Amino acid sequence: MMRHRDALEVLARHRGEYIVITTMGSVALWPEFSDTSRDFHYLPSSMGEAVPLALGLCLARPEVQVAVLVGDGSLLMNLGCLVTTAQYAVPLRIILVDNGLYEVTGGQPVAHARRTDFARIAQGAGIPRVYVCATLDQWQHSAPEVFSGPGPVFVWWQVYGEKGRTTPLPPRSMPEQIRRLQSLWSHEH
């Protein structure tokens, strides 16, 4: 397994022009690596909404590339989002941050923690390219390929859980983040 922070550092080096949508535990860590209009911290009132948000952005703005980080608990809340995503040829990278815990609610184990084969689920849903990154070396080796070629792509990070860690609020309000993201297209009228 790898540390969440180390995996994010590799992501920051390889993301290029991708918009990065962080959720839950990644919200607190990502600003250490990037804080631009291409970074969006999404803390919804319910879990399972980040992949649909990212897919919607890809469909609304076909010229953008999006990477969304989603926790294992969040993905389990909405596995159908993988089937929905698979039907579109979009430049979307779904990065599963699997720590085996509901990190933001106190560190309870997710259902079937560390025994669910998320790669097989993504493949079965029809995602054409799936990467399993159980170690930092695997992620470093896969990252350049993950961010090249067509999508959608599914990446399964297996990271150490940090029981009891809480997620702070995003560094910016949601309206401010939306304005920053919209500024990418401010040249349009």
Mean pLDDT along residues 62-67: 94
Q: Which residue, among 2, 3, 42, has the nearest Cα to 19 in the 3D structure?
A: 42
Please say if the pLDDT value at position 62 is more than 50: yes
Percentage, residues of the chain above pLDDT 70: 84
Report yes or no: 52 and 84 within 8 Å, Cβ to Cβ.
yes
Using 50, 70 and 90 to split pLDDT, how confident is the model at 188? low
**Contacting residues for 112 by C-beta, under 8 A, at least 6 apart:** none
| The length of the chain, given as a count of residues | 189
Any idea what the Cα angle at residue 20 is, between residues 114 and 166, rounded to 5°? 50
Token representation of residue 117:
């084969």
**Minimal CA–CA distance to 141: which of 7, 34, 16?**
7
Q: Among 86-95, 114-123, 161-170, whose mean pLDDT is lowest?
A: 161-170
Q: Does residue 167 register a pLDDT over 60? A: no
For the segment 156-165, the average pLDDT, to the nearest whole number, is: 73
Query: What are the chain's domains?
Result: 4-184 (3.40.50.970)
Model confidence band, residue 189 (pLDDT cutoffs 50, 70, 90)? very low
For residue 168, pLDDT beyond 60: no
pLDDT, tens only, 2-48: 998 999 999 999 999 999 998 877 888 888 889 888 998 876 656 77
Backbone phi, psi, residue 113, to 5°: -50, 135
Tell me: pLDDT of 101 over 70. Answer: no
Spatial CA neighbour of 97 closest among 188, 6, 181: 6
pTM of the predicted structure, to 2 decimals: 0.89
What average pLDDT does this structure show over 127-146?
96
CA nearest neighbour of 161 among 77, 117, 97 = 97
59, with CB counted inside 10 A (0-12, 13-18, 19+), is exposed
